[in-house]
A and B are shown apart, each in its own frame.
Chain A
Amino acid sequence: MFSELEKNLRQHITLTTDEFDRVKRYFVPKKLRRKQFMLEASDVCTRMAFVSKGALFSYSTSEKGSINVVQFAFESWWMADLYSFFTEEPSKLYIEALEDSELLLLKADRLQPLLADVPAMETYLRILYQNAYVALQRRLEETIGLTAEQRYLRFMERDGRLLLRVPQHMIASYLGVTPETLSRIRKQVS
């Protein structure tokens, strides 16, 4: 249940066995089935999720009912609406299971006790937030500065292997194009 998290933590920080045993006591083990929600829009996002197994995706919905995919998270990735998590404002996002998933959730009110108990986790979380910021900035720049085709190529280069698990219309939504446009781009670049 904890092997992925342990591997991930140890990539960034040094923890004794005793410290990791303490870390485990702050995480909620939670199974989510495909199409179930970790978060629904208008609720405050009070939990960060580490994906041990499976995949999640976050999205907003338009008035017309279409979805705008914001982010995917596969094994060993984190997922949350950090904006809502930190501001405690209602989220505009849905976080849904793309596949049957096993998550480890960290609740907002457990964060400070965890950091007080195992200070090394401060470093880990700082790295986590840095990465989240970089990813957000990159996404913003790619959306503003690149053509759909360039965005697609970057995306495939980075996460191509994982995207085999994602339906085409969600990839299209993530890239901000229609499924038809995506299909045309795929033909062009192949």
Chain B
Amino acid sequence: MKTKSTIAIIGSTGNMGSAIAKSLAKGSNRLLLFGREDTKLQTLKNDIHTLNSGADVEAIGCPKDASWEADIVILAVPYAAEAAVAEEIRPYVTQKIVISIANPMNETFDGMVTPADSSAAQELQKLLPDAQVVKAFNTTYAANFAEPVIAGVPADAYVAGDDEKAVQTVTELVQSMGLNPVVAGGLAVSHTLEHMQLLLIQLTVKNNYNWHAGWKILHN
């Protein structure tokens, strides 16, 4: 597609938000960054322009305006903050793709705060019933975006969602970032994807993977 996509990143000053922004800025997308701290946003903008001097990025003053102007919205805030942000952006994301990257872990990293039969992505879909929620990037550590190849192989990046076109769009986006997209299924698969990351985090701490690890399906 030639027509530029406008992607809003809410929480762009965080670990994930800034890593995703830097990775996306290498492509031809227009990025709208929302963050609560101006100095962090300025630093991020400068970093992005160092990576790609022609990058089309702009800081936007509130999640509502960023979402209204966007074609795709990435929620990169902590899971606990999602309900409030969703409430604010709801009228502006009708029929738009909203990417859920959250892993809704409890404070001791031994379980989830979401209901046992649900997931962060499904909870977000309930809050944004007219949006096309797609799960992506939740199994990708922030550090992986700059180095998507781990131990010689590109890490898998699982994508799940109920709207076929939306899943395809996100898959292409993931691919453009140098990750290996794998379509995992409908949005309900998010439950599994989020638990995969819970396990990976536990193993990362236990085995000292240095926060640079990922999942890979081996197949022939």
Give A residues with C-beta under 8 Å from B: 1, 24-33, 36-43, 105, 107, 109-110
Q: What is the interface of chain B mostly: helix, strand, loop, or mixed?
A: loop
Q: Which residues of A contact B69 (CB under 8 A)?
A: 30-33
The answer to whether A29 and B92 have CB atoms under 8 Å apart is yes
Contact of B43 with A by CB under 8 A: no
Contact of B91 with A by CB under 8 A: yes
Known: A25-B130, A30-B69, A30-B71. A107 touches B3 (CB 8 A): no
Contact of B192 with A by CB under 8 A: no
Contact of B165 with A by CB under 8 A: yes
Bound-complex Cα distance A180 to B94 (A): 46
From residue A179, how far is it (CB to closest CB) to chain B in Å?
28
Further 7 A-B residue pairs, CB within 8 A, beyond A28-B96, A40-B2? A24-B94, A25-B95, A28-B95, A29-B92, A30-B68, A30-B71, A41-B2
Bound-complex Cα distance A43 to B71 (A): 16
Per-residue A-contact encoding for B160-177, CB less than 8 Å = 1, 0 else: 000001000000000000
Known: A25-B94, A31-B68, A31-B69. A38 touches B130 (CB 8 A): no
The answer to whether B165 and A29 have CB atoms under 8 Å apart is no
Residue of A nearest to B165 (CB): A109
Bound-complex Cα distance A1 to B3 (A): 24
Q: Which residues of B contact A105 (CB under 8 A)?
A: 95
Most-contacted residue by chain A among B1, B91, B92, B95 (CB, 10 A): B95
